[in-house]
Homo-oligomer: A and B are copies of this chain.
Amino acid sequence: MNIILIDKKELSENRVVLTDYRAKHIVKILKSEIGDCLRLGVINGDIGEATVTAVQRKFPFLVELSVELVAEATPRPVVDLLLALPRPIMLRRVLSQVTALGVGTIYLVNANRVEKSFWDAGLLEEKEYRPHLIHGLEQAVDTLLPNIRIHRRFRPFVEDVLPHLASQYSHLLLAHPLEEKKLSHCLDNCSTERVLYAVGPEGGWVDFEVEKLLAAGMQSFSLGARILKVDTAVVAIHSRISQELERQSER
Q: Residue-by-residue, is A203-227 near B (CB-CB < 8 Å gives 1, otherwise 0)?
A: 0000000000000000000001111
CA–CA, A146 and B101, complex, Å = 27
Residues of B within 8 A of A141 (CB): 225-227
Query: A228 to B184, Cβ gap below 8 A?
Result: no
Cβ of A240: which chain B residues have Cβ within 8 Å of it? 239-240, 242-243
Contact B226 A100 (CB under 8 A): yes
Residue ID in chain B nearest A234 by CB atoms: B235
Q: Which residues of A contact B (CB under 8 A)?
A: 2, 74, 97, 100-102, 139-142, 182-184, 224-229, 231-232, 235-240, 242-244, 246-247, 250
Chain B residue at smallest Cβ distance from A236:
B239
CA distance A225 to B229 in the complex (A): 27
Chain B residues, CB < 8 A from A97: 229, 231-232
User: Are A139 and B2 touching (Cβ within 8 A)?
Assistant: no
Q: Beyond A141-B227, A142-B226, A240-B240: 6 further Cβ-contacts under 8 Å?
A: A74-B225, A97-B229, A100-B227, A101-B228, A232-B235, A247-B247
Given contacts A97-B232, A182-B246, A246-B184, contact A102 B226 (CB under 8 A): yes
A229 contacts B139, CB within 8 Å?
yes
Q: Bound state CA distance, A140 and B177, in angstroms? A: 12
User: How long is the Cα–Cα vector from A97 to B235 in the complex, in angstroms?
Assistant: 11
Once bound together, how far apart are the Cα atoms of A22 and B119, in whole Å?
29
CB closest residue in chain B, given A235: B235
Pick the contact of A227: B140, B184, B231, B232 (CB < 8 A): B140
Which residues on the B side are within 8 Å of A139 (C-beta)?
227-229
Interchain CA distance A242-B241 in the complex, whole Å: 11
CB distance from A79 to the nearest CB of B (A): 12
Other-chain contact of A184, B225, B226, B247 (Cβ < 8 Å): B247
Which residues of the partner chain B approach A236 to less than 8 Å between Cβ atoms? 101, 235-236, 238-239
For A74, the closest partner residue in chain B by CB is B225
Q: How far, in whole Å, are A118 and B129 apart by their CA atoms in the complex?
A: 30
